[in-house]
Amino acid sequence: MRRPTLLAALAAATALAGCTVKTVEGAACDQIGGVDQCPDGQRCGFDGTCSVAANACGPTICRETTCSGSTNGTLSKCVPDGVCASFEVTDCTEHQDCDADAEACRCKASACDGSKGSFCSAGGELVVCHTEPLTGCPYEDPPAGCGALRECKIKDATSSECACRPSPECAQEGTFCTASDTLLVTCGIDGGCLHKQREQPCEPGETCASGACACPPTDQPPAPGRGCGATGDLACDGATLLRCGLVVADSPCHEWKEERACAGSGLVCSSGTPGSAACVCPPLGASPRTVFADPGAPNEDGVAPTGAEEPRCRFRTLGAAALVAAAGDTVKATGAGLPVMFPEAPVTVKAGVSLVGDESAPAVPANVVLEVDGAAGTTGLVVEAGASVRGVTVRKGASAASTVGIDVKGASPISAPSLKDVVVDAQGAGGAFDTGVLVSGAGSVSMERLAGSGAVIGGLEVNRSSSTDVVAIADARLVGNAIGLKLTRGDLRLSSSTIRESGSEGVKAAAASVGSTRLAVANSFILRNAGTGLWLEQNDAISITGTQICQNTGSDRTVSDETHLVGGIYALNNAPDPAVPQSLVFQGNKIHENGGDQVLIGAGANWNLSAPSCLSGVRNIVTKYRGGGVGVASIAASVTVQRWEWESGATPPGALDVRATQTGSVNAGSGNFCVPLDPPVVPVCPP
């Protein structure tokens, strides 16, 4: 209790007056319980005045309530009793604190507010609340941890508890694999809680399954990450090559790992015996197929070419490609840069197979060159019956002793000529072939745009099984061969072709006996050959139409001991059987500027070379004789040449135009000769 303010005011007034009251009671004082400010026998009382009564109070007169004790738990309450005041001491309880201002013991601050019997602290500890019976003060036990297996959880609205911690890996007691498949755990109950008692990591590469760590199974189809047997084994996963190896270093387990993406290299993956596989060239499949050959193919070690289009799978030679080709297939010559050069051993194109080089429009055979090295007597390129070749040039290699460039050994395919846009020349390192192209065997053969040059014996030789085996050649160009074209046996039909600058005859159709050859030449040119342009002998049938024979140098021809230079046409022995219709046809031809006689017929009968009319393009024209020769000469042969136009223009022709010796005759017709056209047609030999 505080002193009354009135006493304080009285004491102050007395001090200001400078006097001390010593004799009367009631003097103001502020030293409660003291005597210094009071008269003798008086004491400063609790009311702030001096009095005898105050002097009679106990040993002390308290002034105010105080708290004391080591824990500030003792309340000394100053209780007034008149002018006296004494302490009333109270010990606060364990859960109270002394409050001097309130002159009371108050409840200590607590996390418990009386609404809950327990709760979880911010640190996850269980806090239990109590109420002090004497004071009703709430208090809590010191926070208690729940232990390793439990955690504090709210139980209900007023209480919490230490409950078992959840163990995600454990649903029951036992040993199990975790979701990661790399950890083995053992679950059990301790202190009433199911928990993970032990965990064991699997070895590197092992996975956990069915309560045990084990290497990946090896009974699954190969795939990256799946188990495999032994280091180094190979297998295929689709188009990917896999290699078996350790999952990681020091692992007891093996797994398949990607070795190579075969498809990225244009290859396929192929498995062999268990543990073996490789990236290989794709197979060609069923015919019809295209088999590729490329002399610069980047073949890969260990990858055998199959002829597939992928560059590394192409054969480097046409021979190798042709060897695997079957009927219906195409062997395609390809490569980088021009020309594409194929150094080859002799090549055989099998029946039903096509060999294709340049496919430009028009084709350029010089863009694809076969330079063949072969032994003596061999053929550079053999084209079997039913096979075909187009868009290539064939040459002789440096070490070749081959005698024939191309041998067409039988009938052409139904849908294509045996040879088309094909060149045989002497530009190879080995020089010229003896024979550029040989046509042998039986059956009908066709060729288009064949070119041959430089052959030592003949640019083209036809020597078939019989005289009825047809060879139809269109747009051929035979230049600079020893003999341009040689017909030994067979039925040759030449059209729109040029035979020029041969070392001797342009065309030689001279059979050893009757019954071997049939010759038809249409709309062609035989010119500037060093020998006679056209040699005919013992042919079953002859048809020369629309053909120009000019500027051939000529060769000496001897018949019955009579020799003449003949540049144009030389025919010996009997003409084809006149009883056979159309066995001899000769019309629309121009024979001019050849050395010596333009035409010489020797020792034969029935040579009727008459044209059917004098129409332009139908009449035969013979003109511009050279070297003292005549237009048509006969040595012991009967010759009919009606409806011709002669150099002299005479009607009938005179001695400048015809000559007959020994028993020969030249019948130019009586009125069946042609006067020059108006304007006249002057034949010009092509350049």
Q: What is the pLDDT of residues 513-556, one digit of tens each?
A: 778 899 999 999 999 999 999 999 999 999 999 999 999 999 99
Could you tell me the pTM of the whole model? 0.71
Look up residue 607 and give its two tokens. Answer: 């040579």
Examine the pLDDT at 508 and tell me if it is beyond 60: yes
> Burial, 442: exposed, middle or buried (Cβ in 10 Å; 0-12, 13-18, 19+)?
middle
- SS3 (DSSP) at 9: helix
- In this structure, are residues 561 and 592 in contact, taking their beta carbons and an 8 Å threshold? no
Examine the pLDDT at 145 and tell me if it is beyond 90: no
- In this structure, are residues 618 and 649 in contact, taking their beta carbons and an 8 Å threshold? no
Beta strands in 282-378 (DSSP E): 290-293, 330-333, 340-344, 347-349, 354-356, 368-372
Look up residue 384 and give its two tokens. Answer: 């079997």
Residues in the chain: 687
State mean pLDDT over 144-163.
87
Examine the pLDDT at 4 and tell me if it is beyond 50: no
> d(Cα 270, Cα 535) in Å, to the nearest integer?
63
State mean pLDDT over 471-495.
97
- In this structure, are residues 334 and 307 in contact, taking their beta carbons and an 8 Å threshold? no
pLDDT over 70 percentage in the chain: 97
> d(Cα 107, Cα 118) in Å, to the nearest integer?
19
What's phi and psi for 254, nearest 5 deg?
A: -115, 150
> d(Cα 302, Cα 279) in Å, to the nearest integer?
9
- What pLDDT score was predicted for residue 23? 56
pLDDT: which is higher, 410 or 302: 410
In our burial notation (b when 16+ CB lie closer than 10 A, e otherwise), range 373-395 reads: bbeeebbbbbbbbbbbbbbbbbb
- What pLDDT score was predicted for residue 423? 98
Q: Which of 514, 513, 512, 516 minimizes the C-alpha distance to 492?
A: 516
- What pLDDT score was predicted for residue 186? 86
Q: Which of 113, 142, 115 minimizes the C-alpha distance to 128?
A: 142
What one-character-per-residue DSSP string does 106-121 give? EEPP-S--SS-SEEE-
> d(Cα 419, Cα 426) in Å, to the nearest integer?
18
Examine the pLDDT at 21 and tell me if it is beyond 50: no
pLDDT in tens, 156-183: 988 888 899 888 878 888 888 887 777 8
Q: HSE-up of 546 (CA within 13 Å, CB side)? A: 10
> d(Cα 424, Cα 411) in Å, to the nearest integer?
20
Q: CA torsion 679→681→686→687, rounded to 10°? A: -50
State mean pLDDT over 313-333.
97
Beta bridge mates, 489:
463
Please name the helix (run of DSSP H) or strand (run of DSSP E) that holds residue 75, with its range, or none: strand 74-81
Look up residue 628 and give its two tokens. Answer: 């003292």
Examine the pLDDT at 670 and tell me if it is beyond 80: no
- What pLDDT score was predicted for residue 363? 96
pLDDT in tens, 579-605: 999 999 999 999 999 999 999 999 989
Examine the pLDDT at 20 and tell me if it is beyond 60: no
Domain boundary assignment for the chain: 5-107, 118-164, 281-335, 504-687
* CB neighbour list of residue 561: distance below 8 Å, 6 or more residues apart: none
- In this structure, are residues 110 and 128 in contact, taking their beta carbons and an 8 Å threshold? no
Examine the pLDDT at 606 and tell me if it is beyond 50: yes
Ranges 46-50, 480-484, 639-643: which has the least confidence: 46-50
pLDDT in tens, 249-301: 888 999 999 999 998 888 999 998 989 999 999 999 898 999 999 999 998 88
- Work out the end-to-end distance of the chain between its first and last CA atoms, rounded to an integer number of angstroms: 153
pLDDT: which is higher, 658 or 184: 658
Beta strands in 283-442 (DSSP E): 290-293, 330-333, 340-344, 347-349, 354-356, 368-372, 379-383, 388-396, 404-408, 419-424, 435-439
pLDDT in tens, 37-85: 999 989 999 888 999 998 989 888 888 888 988 788 888 889 998 889 8
- In this structure, are residues 526 and 501 in contact, taking their beta carbons and an 8 Å threshold? no
What's phi and psi for 85, nearest 5 deg?
A: -160, 135
Q: How confident is the model at residue 18 (pLDDT cuts 50, 70, 90)?
A: very low
Sign of the Cα torsion 214, 215, 218, 223 reads positive
Q: Which of 53, 25, 58, 59 minimizes the C-alpha distance to 39?
A: 25
> d(Cα 414, Cα 351) in Å, to the nearest integer?
12
- What pLDDT score was predicted for residue 15? 42
Look up residue 566 and give its two tokens. Answer: 């003949």
Average pLDDT, rounded, for the chain: 90
> d(Cα 356, Cα 291) in Å, to the nearest integer?
10
Examine the pLDDT at 9 and tell me if it is beyond 50: no
State mean pLDDT over 350-359.
97
